[in-house]
Structure 1
Amino acid sequence: MFPFVGPDQTRPLATSITSRLAEVFNQRCEVNRRAATSGCVINTCGWVKGSGYQALVHAASAFEVDAAIVLDQERLYNELKRDLPHFVKTALLPKSGGAVERSKDFRRESRDEKIREYFYGFRGSFYPHAFDVRFSDVRIFKVGAPTIPDSCLPLGMSQEDNQLKLVPVQPGRDLVHHLLSVSTADSPEDNLIETSVAGFIVVTSVDVERQLFTVLSPAPRPLPKSILLIMDIRFMDLK
Structure 2
Amino acid sequence: LLHVIQALKISIVLVMGHDRLFSMMNNKLKNLDTGGATPKVIKLPRSGGVVSREASFQRQQKSNSIKRYFYGGMVKGPGGTSSTSTSGGDSSSKQQQQKPTIPLKIPELTPFAVMIKFADVTIYKFTSVSLSNNLLPMGATQETDAVQVVSVGSEEMTEQWTHAMLAVVHPAAVERYNQTLKASELYESSVAGFVVVEKVLMDTETLHLLSPCAGSLPSTTFLAGDVSFME
1:101 corresponds to which residue?
52
How far did 1:70 drift?
Answer: 1.7
* 1:110 maps onto 2:98 in alignment: no
* 1:120 maps onto 2:71 in alignment: yes
- 1:55 corresponds to which of 6, 24, 28: 24
Q: Tell me the number of residue pairs that the alignment of Structure 1 and Structure 2 aligns.
A: 177
1:70 corresponds to which residue?
45
Quick one: which amino acid aligns to residue 208 of structure 2?
A: T
1:197 corresponds to which residue?
191
Which has the higher relative contact order, 1 or 2, with Cα contacts under 8 A spaced 6 or more apart? 1
The separation in 2 between residues aligned to 1:175 and 1:147, in whole angstroms, is 26
**After superposition, what is the alpha-carbon deviation per residue over 1:177-208, rounded to whole angstroms, capped at 9, x for unaligned?**
11101100343426212222110000011011
SS at match of 1:213: strand
CA distance 1:108–1:167, shift in 2 (3 Å)? same
CA distance 1:60–1:147, shift in 2 (3 Å)? closer
How far did 1:45 drift?
Answer: 6.7
How far did 1:69 drift?
Answer: 3.0
Question: Residue 145 of structure 1 contacts residue 167 of structure 1 at CA under 8 Å; is this kept in 2?
Answer: no
Quick one: which amino acid aligns to residue 21 of structure 1?
A: V
The separation in 2 between residues aligned to 1:114 and 1:196, in whole angstroms, is 19
Which 4+ residue blocks in structure 1 deviate beyond 4 angstroms?
39-42, 44-47, 56-63, 145-148
**After superposition, what is the alpha-carbon deviation per residue over 1:95-119, rounded to whole angstroms, capped at 9, x for unaligned?**
5xxx532112111111111101100
The separation in 1 between residues aligned to 2:216 and 2:72, in whole angstroms, is 21
1:177 corresponds to which residue?
163
The separation in 1 between residues aligned to 2:17 and 2:200, in whole angstroms, is 37
From the two aligned structures, give the one with the greater helix fraction.
1
SS at match of 1:55: helix
From the two aligned structures, give the one with the greater strand fraction.
2
* 1:136 maps onto 2:125 in alignment: no
How far did 1:163 drift?
Answer: 4.6
The separation in 2 between residues aligned to 1:25 and 1:234, in whole angstroms, is 31
Q: TM-score, normalized by length of structure 1?
A: 0.61
RMSD (CA atoms) = 3.5
SS at match of 1:165: strand
Quick one: which amino acid aligns to residue 39 of structure 2?
A: E
How far did 1:165 drift?
Answer: 2.2
Mind listing any 5+ residue stretches in structure 1 that lack a counterpart?
1-17, 30-38, 73-93, 149-157
Question: Residue 122 of structure 2 contacts residue 220 of structure 2 at CA under 8 Å; is this kept in 1?
Answer: yes
1:222 corresponds to which residue?
216
The share of aligned pairs that are identical, in percent, is: 25
How far did 1:162 drift?
Answer: 6.5
CA distance 1:143–1:67, shift in 2 (3 Å)? closer
CA distance 1:224–1:66, shift in 2 (3 Å)? closer
**Rg bigger for which structure?**
2
The separation in 2 between residues aligned to 1:147 and 1:209, in whole angstroms, is 39
SS at match of 2:40: coil
SS at match of 1:71: coil
